[in-house]
């Protein structure tokens, strides 16, 4: 018969402060207290489940009672250290307050406080979920906290510190343990799997770390479940099946259809997800997560993504979806997730959320990605004869570029994100050799940063085959920027749609027969 299996959460529980993952603020304070000999008599550790409250308390008890201590680095070899690790140290009294709430239980525990430790240097009381104690139990505990014997230390842990009396809080050093970041959880899980010799896929571990929701214990428990589910391996497909999440490719396909702006195809694909019985809230979470990576890529060109999404995929989507659209989609996904409970059913709420993303796109960008060619040419100077007059006025002369209009140049540039936004709000004043002179829409001057200007200059250098230097000047005859050209074209389309609507015989019939009126702002061209 094989030996008894030990759960990963128990087997890999930290035994020293150096093994502890996260909670550096707590570790630093306790280590300093131990090294300087200023250890308070009562500690309160608060935080959500599985972040290390009782683990830290046990490590502290070991530090206090190590036969070679007290020390911030217990030996782990003496009898006291081994017995604490095994959970059978007589002077470490662990109490589950959730099951011992009565005052008689508390008095029974505290009756022995006055007696010296049996084996160790200190008698340590570790009371878990201390907020569950009754009012009378708190009163009994408070009396001991006020005047504790020198050989006693109290280590209290709770997930709900608001329920503790202020009289108890004021007598403890309180440490609030934070949720552990998913990246730290994933890194620790990978280390555990490597030591266990278990095959894994990084993307699958990332999914488990996200599902752990800041709890290392939950992460290790889910990892145990994944290994059993996957027959001894921790793969991405197994993790998605176990957690009930849709494949990454499905979320990517949604993003691609959002970029294309095809509502019919988007809804058709969304309806096809029904066969996977997905958690639609989780799908929106993953979509928001993908959009976050796209937004970062648009602002930070050096961003390489992570193990969940390939860098080249993020780069393509960052170029295909406008920066404003990314922000809109992200916000809509968050609101849609919040409102799923109010929808007739989750699938309906999910589909309506996707439709809102398409319906509420800014008209300036509708149907165009971040790299779409700008319609129309940037208007150049009226005539060369105006150059001497502009020179007299202190305005840079305009030398037309032999390489085409600014909109055409912009369409060929290897540029994306906010740098493309800057370029689209500029107009070409002229080019003189290695110097390209631009004017910028005054309403978009906030886009002018040294980092974005450098990216634009680099893209132009690559386009022209020589090192380009930018000069921003004030043009005496402001030219239309590509962004303004798109807006003008969009407005013309809307105006044409309204005229066509007014001329429609059916609309005219409604007006004549029923006295109907149209709301012009609601009329949009059909794409």
Distance CA 124, CA 115 (A): 12
pLDDT at residue 165, as a whole number: 87
- φ/ψ of 24, rounded to 5, equals -60, -35
Structure tokens at 492: 């013309």
Residue 505 has a pLDDT of 78
Question: Per-residue confidence of the chain (527 residues) as pLDDT tens digits?
Answer: 456 788 888 888 898 898 888 888 999 999 999 988 889 989 999 988 888 898 999 999 999 999 887 888 888 889 999 999 888 888 898 888 877 666 666 777 777 788 888 888 898 989 888 888 888 878 878 878 888 888 989 999 998 888 888 888 888 899 999 888 888 999 999 999 999 999 998 888 988 888 888 889 989 999 998 998 888 888 888 887 787 666 677 888 899 989 888 888 888 888 888 877 778 888 899 899 999 999 999 988 888 777 677 788 888 899 888 888 899 999 999 999 999 989 899 999 999 999 999 887 765 443 343 333 333 333 333 333 333 333 333 333 353 333 348 888 888 888 888 888 889 999 988 888 888 989 988 888 888 888 889 889 999 998 888 889 999 887 666 778 888 888 888 888 888 888 888 888 777 777 777 777 777 777 777 65
Pick the CATH number of 397-479 from 3.30.2320.80, 3.90.550.10, 3.30.300.150, 3.40.630.10: 3.30.300.150
Q: How far apart are CA 159 and CA 169, in angstroms?
A: 14
Residue range 8-176 forms a domain whose CATH class is alpha beta
Token pair, residue 337, equals: 């997730």
The pLDDT tens digits for 261-284 are 888 888 888 888 887 777 888 889
**Domain 8-176 matches domain 248-359 at the CATH topology level:** no
Q: What whole-number distance in Å separates Cα of residue 164 and Cα of residue 392? A: 78
* The pLDDT value given to residue 473: 85
Domain range 248-359, CATH class: mainly alpha
How many alpha carbons fall within 13 Å on the CB side of residue 460?
Answer: 30
188 contacts: CB under 8 Å, gap ≥ 6: 21, 216, 219
Distance CA 21, CA 179 (A): 11
Question: What confidence score (pLDDT) does residue 31 get?
Answer: 92
Domain coordinates in residue numbering, the chain: 8-176, 182-243, 248-359, 397-479, 485-522
Q: What is the CATH number of domain 182-243?
A: 1.10.8.60
Distances (CA, A) of 504 to 222, 264, 493, 500, 518: 62, 25, 16, 6, 12
Partners of 130 in the β-ladder: none
- The pLDDT, as a whole number, for residue 188 is 92
What is the pTM for the complete model shown?
0.55
Query: Distance (Å, rounded) from C-alpha 76 to C-alpha 67?
Result: 10
Local structure of residue 112 (DSSP, 8 states): T
């Amino acid at each position: 018969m094989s030996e008894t299996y030990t759960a990963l959460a128990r087997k890999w529980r930290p035994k020293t402060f150096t093994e502890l993952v996260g909670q550096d603020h707590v570790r630093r304070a306790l280590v300093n207290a131990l090294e300087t000999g200023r250890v308070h008599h009562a500690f309160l550790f608060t935080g959500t489940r599985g972040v290390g409250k009782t683990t830290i308390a046990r490590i502290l008890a070991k530090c206090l009672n190590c036969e070679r201590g007290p020390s911030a680095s217990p030996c782990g070899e003496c009898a006291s250290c081994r017995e604490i690790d095994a959970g059978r140290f007589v002077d470490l009294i662990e109490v589950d307050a959730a099951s011992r709430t009565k005052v008689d239980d508390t008095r029974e525990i505290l009756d022995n406080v006055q007696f010296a430790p049996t084996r160790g240097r200190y008698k340590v009381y570790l009371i878990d979920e201390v907020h569950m104690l009754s009012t009378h139990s708190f009163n009994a505990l408070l009396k001991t906290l006020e005047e504790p014997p020198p050989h006693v230390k109290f280590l209290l842990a709770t997930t709900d510190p608001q329920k503790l009396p202020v009289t108890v809080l004021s007598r403890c050093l309180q440490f609030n343990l934070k949720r552990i970041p998913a990246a730290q959880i994933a890194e620790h899980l990978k280390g555990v799997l490597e030591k266990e010799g278990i095959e894994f896929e990084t993307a699958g571990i990332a999914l488990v770390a996200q599902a752990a929701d800041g709890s290392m214990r939950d992460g290790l428990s889910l990892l145990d479940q994944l290994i059993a589910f996957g027959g001894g391996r921790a793969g991405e497909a197994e993790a998605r099946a176990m957690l009930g999440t849709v494949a990454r490719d499905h979320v990517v396909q949604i993003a691609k259809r959002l970029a294309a702006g095809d509502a019919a195809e988007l809804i058709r694909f969304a309806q096809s997800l029904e066969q996977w019985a997905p958690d639609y809230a989780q799908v929106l979470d993953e979509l928001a997560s993908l959009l976050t990576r796209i937004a970062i890529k648009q602002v930070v060109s050096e961003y390489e993504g992570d193990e969940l999404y390939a860098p080249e995929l993020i780069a393509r989507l960052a170029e295909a979806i406008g920066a404003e659209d990314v922000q809109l989609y992200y916000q809509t996904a968050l609101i849609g997730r919040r409102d799923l409970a109010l929808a007739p059913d989750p699938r309906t709420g999910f589909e309506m959320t996707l439709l809102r993303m398409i319906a509420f796109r800014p008209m300036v960008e509708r149907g165009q990605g971040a790299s779409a060619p700008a319609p129309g040419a940037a208007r150049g100077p009226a005539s060369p004869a105006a150059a001497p007059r502009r020179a007299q006025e202190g305005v840079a002369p305009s030398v037309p570029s032999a390489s085409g209009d600014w909109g055409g140049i912009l369409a060929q540039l290897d540029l994306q994100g906010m740098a493309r936004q800057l370029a689209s709000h500029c107009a070409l004043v002229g080019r003189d050799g290695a110097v390209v002179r631009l004017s910028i829409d005054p309403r978009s001057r906030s886009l002018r940063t040294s980092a974005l200007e450098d990216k634009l200059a680099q893209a132009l250098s690559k386009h022209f085959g020589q090192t380009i230097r930018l000069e921003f000047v004030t043009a005496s005859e402001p030219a239309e920027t590509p962004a303004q050209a798109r807006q003008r074209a969009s407005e013309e389309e809307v105006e044409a749609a309204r005229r066509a609507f007014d001329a429609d015989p059916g609309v005219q019939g409604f007006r004549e027969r029923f006295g109907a009126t149209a709301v012009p702002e609601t009329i949009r061209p059909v794409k």
